[in-house]
Structure 1
Amino acid sequence: MLAALLFDLDGTLTNSDTLHLVAIQQLLLEEDGRSFTEHEFEQHCAGRANAQMCMNLFPQRSITEHQAFADRKEARFRQLATQLEPIPGATRLLDYAEQHGIGMVVVTNAPRANADHMLAALGFSERLARVVVAEELPHAKPHPLPYLTGLEKLKAEAHVGIAFEDSIPGLTAAKAAGIFTVALATTQSPSALQAAGADLVIDDYNDPRLWAHIEQMHSA
């Protein structure tokens, strides 16, 4: 019986990674005259909590300096992200979950201020009121704790849930929590997501294979 849907946020409910890339590019150029490529973003930033991102970007800087940069980067992102569009089919899936009494939770490595801002910009604040912010836990993704916490919030077990992810760290976390994981190919190639262990790779939430699996789980 399908009882839980667990959603990552960036790149999963909305295609926002481009704005994160721009925010980092702008700040690095302004502060250090440093260029930053999309490939570097995918290697060092995509799907990672800010602490790990800053360790990758500035290995010689202190934790205090890391936090200051992360705060500036997220503030710049929120300035850029005034309007966000859901991934196609996302609203349809939320409608389905509400109609069938399926619990939903957001599980994100984004900071709380970003999560609140993004859900409001999407118009999903009330529909996705349960939010697990990985940075508020002892471990962020790729550790399974954020997804295990999401399951606890929904009072659900892993085998009755579906997780939705777009990044390798997030996919690793959801799979380690024992959840059937659907990967959206918004920030990584389908082959990379499949190699990382995705149970299903889709372009958006209208994929008929996703709905076949949902119906199969719901009728079990």
Structure 2
Amino acid sequence: MPTTSAPSSVTSTRRPGHPAAVLWDMDGTIVDSEPYWIATETELATENGGTWSHEQGLAMVGRPIADTAELLRDLGVPGTVAEISDELVRRVAGRIRTEGAPWRPGARELLTALGEAGIPCALVTMSYREMADAVLEVLPEGTFAAVVTGDEVTHSKPHPEPYLTAARMLGVDIRDCVAFEDSVPGVASAEASGAATVVVPMMIPIPPAPGRSMVHTLEGLTIEDLASVLAGTPLVRM
């Protein structure tokens, strides 16, 4: 397993009550890359005489890439799970580099506001490092003070390890962090870690739960909104 990056030396200049850090899922939360994944999964299955439905693609949203690779192998895609995973990542990263990665509404603006307020951000994605790097290439340098990818953790989402790792890298208490997620496994991971979690559903519905913050878009979201969530006041804008 690749070695996760060393803890960050970022010094926050946040105001009292503001999050110590904001932890971001990537696919479907920052960028609209989920359609690329489903298209690539369909492509691989079809090339090898299998079929891959849109529903199968949706069922894999937020899950480890190895789970998808295992299903594709069962459909006849040649190679080991690791080899199929690498091929998926290579093709999706290629699509992002050639076609771009559409921003989710409000993501760019909120990332900019957090940077200006001195609140560090971490990227917490189950995509592999190659895929994350393709997205990072289109972001301003320094947008994320830490990056955690699916090939750099022992336990993938829904396990809390990815978010706990991000908080450790930033040198902050996970309970002082806000996390953004769009998938069921991702939400489970963030909530289990102890982060104040804001759900932003995209392709799959996520049920409400007592105390769960849910918004239909990041547009218009402010740092003060995140401070309220951190203080225990759920944000519901659906």
SS at match of 1:194: coil
1:133 corresponds to 2:149: yes
Q: 2:219 aligns with which of 202, 206, 209?
A: 206
Trace 1:65-80 onto structure 2 (pairs within 5 A).
Answer: 65-80=80-95
Structure 1: distance between partners of 2:150 and 2:68: 14
Deviations 1:133-162 (A, max 9, x none): 132121111110110011111211122111
Trace 1:34-183 onto structure 2 (pairs within 5 A).
Answer: 34-43=50-59, 45-58=60-73, 65-81=80-96, 82=98, 83-121=100-138, 123-183=139-199
Root-mean-square deviation (Å)? 2.6
Q: Which residue number in structure 1 is paired with residue 208 of structure 2?
A: 194
Contact 1:171 1:198 in 2 (8 A): no
> After the TM superposition, which of the residue ranges 67-76 and 6-15 deviates more from structure 2?
67-76
Aligned pairs, number: 213
Q: 2:47 aligns with which of 16, 25, 30?
A: 30
Structure 2: distance between partners of 1:126 and 1:211: 19
Aligned residue identity for 2:135: M
Deviations 1:66-119 (A, max 9, x none): 111111111111222231122111122112211221111001100000000112
Q: Which residue number in structure 2 is paired with residue 5 of structure 1?
A: 22
- Shift of residue 207 of structure 1? 4.5
Structure 2: distance between partners of 1:65 and 1:107: 26
Contact 1:105 1:131 in 2 (8 A): yes
Deviations 1:164-200 (A, max 9, x none): 01111111100000111111111212xx2425x7822
SS at match of 2:82: helix
Deviations 1:1-28 (A, max 9, x none): 2111000111110111000000110111
Distance 1:185 1:80, change over 3 A: same
- Shift of residue 212 of structure 1? 4.9
Gaps of 5+ in 2: 1-16, 233-238
What's the TM-score, normalizing by structure 2? 0.80
Structure 2: distance between partners of 1:125 and 1:88: 20
Structure 2: distance between partners of 1:176 and 1:149: 13
Distance 1:193 1:135, change over 3 A: farther
Structure 2: distance between partners of 1:198 and 1:174: 14
Aligned residue identity for 1:199: R
What's the TM-score, normalizing by structure 1? 0.86
Structure 2: distance between partners of 1:25 and 1:167: 20
Gaps of 5+ in 1: none
Structure 2: distance between partners of 1:134 and 1:24: 18
Contact 2:31 2:102 in 1 (8 A): yes
